Amino acid sequence: MVTAIVPCRNEKDSIEACVRSILKQEEPEGNSELIVVDGLSDDGTGEILSRLSGEFPTLKVITNPKRTMPSGVNLAIAAARGRYIAIMGAHNRYAPDYLYQAVKVLEETQADNAGGSMVCEGESYVQEAIALAHHSGFSVGGARWHDPQYEGPADTVFGGVYRREVFDRIGPFDEELVRNQDDELNLRLVQQGGRIWHSPRIKSWYTPRKSLKALLQQYVQYGYWRVRVVQKRKAAAALRQYVPGVFVFSLIALPTVALFWSLVWWLWFGEIAAYGLCTVGISFGVAARKGWRYLPILPLVFACYHLGYGIGFLHGVIDFVLLRRGARENYSTLTRRSESPETSGLS
Chain region(s) in the chain for CATH 3.90.550.10: 2-208
Q: How far apart are CA 312 and CA 318, in angstroms?
A: 10
CA distance 218 to 43: 23
For residue 144, the model assigns a pLDDT of: 65
In 3-state terms, what secondary structure has residue 84?
strand
pLDDT of residue 143: 64
pLDDT of residue 338: 42
3-state DSSP call for residue 301?
A: helix
- In this prediction the pTM is 0.85
What per-residue confidence (pLDDT) applies to 142? 59
SS3 (DSSP) at 197: strand
The answer to whether 25 and 96 have CB atoms below 8 angstroms apart is yes
The confidence score (pLDDT) of residue 206 equals 84
pLDDT attached to residue 117: 77
Q: How far apart are CA 163 and CA 85, in angstroms?
A: 6
User: Are the C-beta atoms of residues 92 and 123 closer than 8 Å to each other?
Assistant: no
Measure Cα distances from 98 to 112, 165, 178, 281 in Å: 17, 21, 27, 36
CB of 282 within 8 A of CB of 136?
A: yes
d(CA 225, CA 212): 20
In this prediction, residue 30 carries a pLDDT of 67
Closest CA to 186 of 7, 8, 343: 343
Strand ranges (E), the chain: 2-8, 32-38, 59-63, 84-87, 92-94, 113-120, 152-153, 161-163, 196-206
- As beta bridge partners, residue 155 has none
Residue type, 12: K
Domain boundaries 2-208, corresponding CATH code: 3.90.550.10
pLDDT of the chain, 347 residues: tens digit per residue: 899 999 999 988 889 988 998 988 887 776 889 999 999 999 999 999 999 999 999 999 999 999 889 999 999 999 999 999 999 988 888 899 999 999 999 999 999 999 997 788 888 999 999 999 998 888 876 566 667 788 999 988 888 999 999 999 999 999 988 888 988 999 999 999 999 999 999 999 888 899 999 999 999 999 999 999 999 888 776 778 899 999 999 999 999 999 999 999 999 999 999 999 999 999 999 999 999 999 999 999 999 999 999 999 999 999 999 998 878 777 776 655 444 444 444 44
CA 159 to chain centre: 8
